Amino acid sequence: MIDVIPFQSLGLAKHGWLTARHHFSFARYYDPNRQGYPPLLVWNDDEIKAGTGFGLHPHDNMEIITYVRQGAITHRDDMGNVGRTVAGDIQVMSAGTGIMHSEHNEESEDTILFQIWIHTAQRDVTPRWETRAFPKKTDNTLIPMVSGREVHQGLDVLNIFQDAAIFAGVINEGYSFTQVVEPERHVYLVVSEGSIELNEQKVQSRDGVYIRDEEDIIITARSDAEIVMADLPIQE
């Protein structure tokens, strides 16, 4: 099954300082047919105005992944962590027993990012936060950036407490490759920039795609394209 979710059909919230598109039900946006794909619960496409951001607020027992696509975001938390994550880089916060944090756009331009929430498989861990730079070119493949999977142990990835992984990559126009979907797993994929064909289905910029019960998917870049993909265990 390949289900393309057009960007224009996503939930929309406008708060002046923040314009958010919700791939799944979130806050005041509710769609009974869009409840996430556990353990993936949230995928928000946020545009944050310069000089604004999310004030201090709490989280617990959630893996919160932020992939910055334009500009930068500055994180502060009650454990003393302070860090700036720039476009193309990623940060991970394992909320564990509980953490208070803020995220502000301290830049002179708007910041655009994906915020992804994955339910933890290990409750009440000590909270932690990390950010890391990743290659801006990935040789026409998707590379793991965040993972809690055994297969990625020892690789230079940001850890989460879940049998899941976030991949990303830049694919050149006209290039095709095969992405394997393992048995008993499913995938949620978003085209961050550009457009692709996925098993001959057209996918435009910022569309989402849910994939299940497909052994192989053939991805062809119709233009230079950036792809972000969550690889997940199936949890009924």
Q: Where are the domains of the chain?
A: 2-233
Q: In what order do the strands lie in the sheet with 201-203?
A: 176-180, 216-221, 196-198, 201-203
Instruction: Tell how strand 2-5 and strand 208-212 pair up.
Output: antiparallel
> CB–CB of 71/46 below 8 Å?
no
Query: Given this model, what pLDDT does residue 230 score?
Result: 98
Other C-beta atoms closer than 10 Å to the C-beta of 100 total 14
Please tell me what DSSP assigns to residue 79: T
Residue from 74, 66, 16, 73 nearest 43 by CA: 66
Predicted local distance difference test score (pLDDT) of residue 134: 80
Identity of the residue numbered 179: Q
| CA separation for the pair 161, 82 (Å, rounded) | 22
- Regions of the chain with pLDDT less than 70: none
Dist CA 208 CA 52 (whole Å): 27
Among 172, 180, 187, 186, residue whose Cα is nearest residue 226: 172
CA–CA separation, 75 and 142 (whole Å): 26
User: Model-level pTM?
Assistant: 0.96
For the chain, how many residues are written?
236
29: exposed, middle or buried (C-beta count within 10 Å: 0-12, 13-18, 19+)?
middle
CATH fold of 2-233: Jelly Rolls (2.60.120)
- So what's the pLDDT on residue 36? 97
Amino acid present at 204: Q
Q: Rounded to 10 degrees, what is the CA torsion of 85, 89, 94, 95?
A: 40
9 phi/psi in degrees, rounded to 5 = -90, -5
